[in-house]
């Protein structure tokens, strides 16, 4: 594999991370402060949306495994077809509809669509690694490129979204600290911009448009720079295994189940942090003027550590690297 091919492959998956990072850090505060949805309904939107993405995973795997080989491959058509719909659903996910009573249904619909469509992209994109080369070292190298670009995509998504939408949450007035002995000090709240201000909504729309453009650029680079090879493992078996039977055999494999369970717990912890960090900085820690820089600081430290962990992995193996990172 050429370095250019690995870079094109890595860049192709970055838009999913850009959009996912922006949504993970800022969707909850958008729903609460801009769309004026109750905390219960905001949590419901996030939970059902994530669940729809989880349900789509095996469904996508089933239909992709049944699809036929085309001139551009078997996986590439799926990624090309779902990208425009992903961009549209992502854009409307940040749109403030003129009605109030149906806003929960609006955001639930488009967030579920976005999660399902990103899954339809991510499943064939992840599987594409196996169809780049038959050499495991080459596949590991391509995976390292992909992981590096995904971390950078997470950083870019949070940085772009944070810088663009910061004006919707930043206080433009000095806060007055009330006297300590004031009996009604809890009534003295700082003056913040009105979230119903049209400008507050427009900056989110601008950010959604920019990230939508990143999606289109990424899929063009992936399509032009990556050539999917025909299944190099097809001759290893003289008969095909049905999807459900293959899924059952996979879930009975102990190491895989343990790996999946650990990944579930780790990703849950990360998502809890992402969802609540901006909200905490804005409403609890009094750092609404600085939250975007704190998010970028966290993600820059993650990106900088990637080469170190890559060397650690090569020296001590994947399992020790996973334990060390934890």
**Which whole-number Å values give the CA distances from 286 to 32, 102, 181, 248, in the listed order?**
17, 32, 21, 50
Question: What is the pTM (predicted TM-score) of this model?
Answer: 0.77
Please list, in sequence order, all residues whose beta carbon lies within 8 angstroms of the beta carbon of residue 231, skipping any fewer than 6 positions away: 69, 74, 131
> Which pLDDT tens digit goes with each residue over 69-83?
878 888 889 999 999
- The yes/no answer on whether domain 3-171+198-230 falls in CATH 2.60.40.10 is no
The residue whose two tokens read 């370095």 is: 3
C-beta separation of 218 from 15 below 8 A: yes
Measured distance CA(324)–CA(319) in Å, rounded: 9
- What's the pLDDT score for residue 191? 40
Measured distance CA(291)–CA(163) in Å, rounded: 10
Res. 194: pLDDT tops 60: no
C-beta separation of 49 from 89 below 8 A: no
Res. 236: pLDDT tops 70: no
pLDDT band per the 50, 70, 90 thresholds, residue 114: very high
Higher pLDDT pick, 239 / 226: 226
> Which pLDDT tens digit goes with each residue over 286-303?
887 787 788 888 888 877
Average pLDDT of span 26-32: 89
C-beta separation of 25 from 295 below 8 A: yes
Please list, in sequence order, all residues whose beta carbon lies within 8 angstroms of the beta carbon of residue 89, skipping any fewer than 6 positions away: 110, 113, 114, 117
Write b or e for each residue in 214-234: b if 16 or more Cβ atoms lie within 10 A of its Cβ, otherwise e: bbeebbebbbebbebeeeeee
Measured distance CA(249)–CA(11) in Å, rounded: 33
């Amino acid at each position: 594999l050429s370095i250019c091919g690995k870079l094109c492959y890595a860049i192709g998956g970055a838009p999913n991370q850009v959009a996912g990072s922006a949504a993970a850090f800022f969707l909850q505060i958008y729903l609460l402060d801009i769309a004026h949805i109750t905390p219960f309904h905001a949590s419901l939107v996030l939970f059902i949306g994530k669940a729809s993405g989880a349900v789509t995973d095996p469904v996508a795997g089933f239909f992709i495994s049944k699809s036929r080989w085309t001139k551009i491959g078997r996986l590439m058509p799926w990624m090309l077809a779902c990208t425009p719909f992903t961009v549209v659903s992502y854009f409307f996910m940040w749109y403030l509809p003129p009605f109030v009573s149906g806003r929960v249904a609006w955001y639930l619909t488009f967030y579920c669509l976005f999660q399902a469509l990103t899954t339809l992209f991510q499943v064939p994109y992840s599987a594409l690694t196996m169809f780049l080369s038959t050499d495991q070292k080459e596949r590991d190298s391509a995976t390292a490129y992909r992981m590096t670009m995904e971390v950078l995509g997470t950083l870019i998504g949070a940085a772009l979204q944070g810088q663009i939408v910061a004006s919707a949450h930043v206080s433009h007035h000095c806060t007055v600290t009330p006297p300590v002995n004031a009996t009604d000090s809890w009534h003295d709240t700082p003056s913040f911009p009105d979230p119903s201000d049209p400008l507050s909504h427009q900056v989110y729309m601008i950010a959604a448009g920019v990230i939508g453009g990143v999606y289109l650029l990424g899929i063009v680079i992936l399509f032009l720079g990556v050539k999917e090879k025909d299944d190099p493992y097809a001759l290893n078996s003289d008969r095909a295994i049905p999807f459900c039977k293959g899924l059952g055999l996979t879930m009975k494999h102990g190491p895989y189940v343990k790996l999946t369970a650990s990944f579930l717990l780790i990703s849950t912890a990360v998502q809890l942090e992402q969802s609540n960090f901006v909200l905490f900085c804005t409403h609890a820690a009094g750092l609404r003027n600085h939250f975007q820089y704190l998010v970028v600081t966290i993600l820059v430290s993650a990106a900088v550590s990637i080469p170190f962990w890559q060397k650690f992995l090569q020296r001590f193996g994947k399992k020790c690297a996973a334990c060390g990172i934890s």
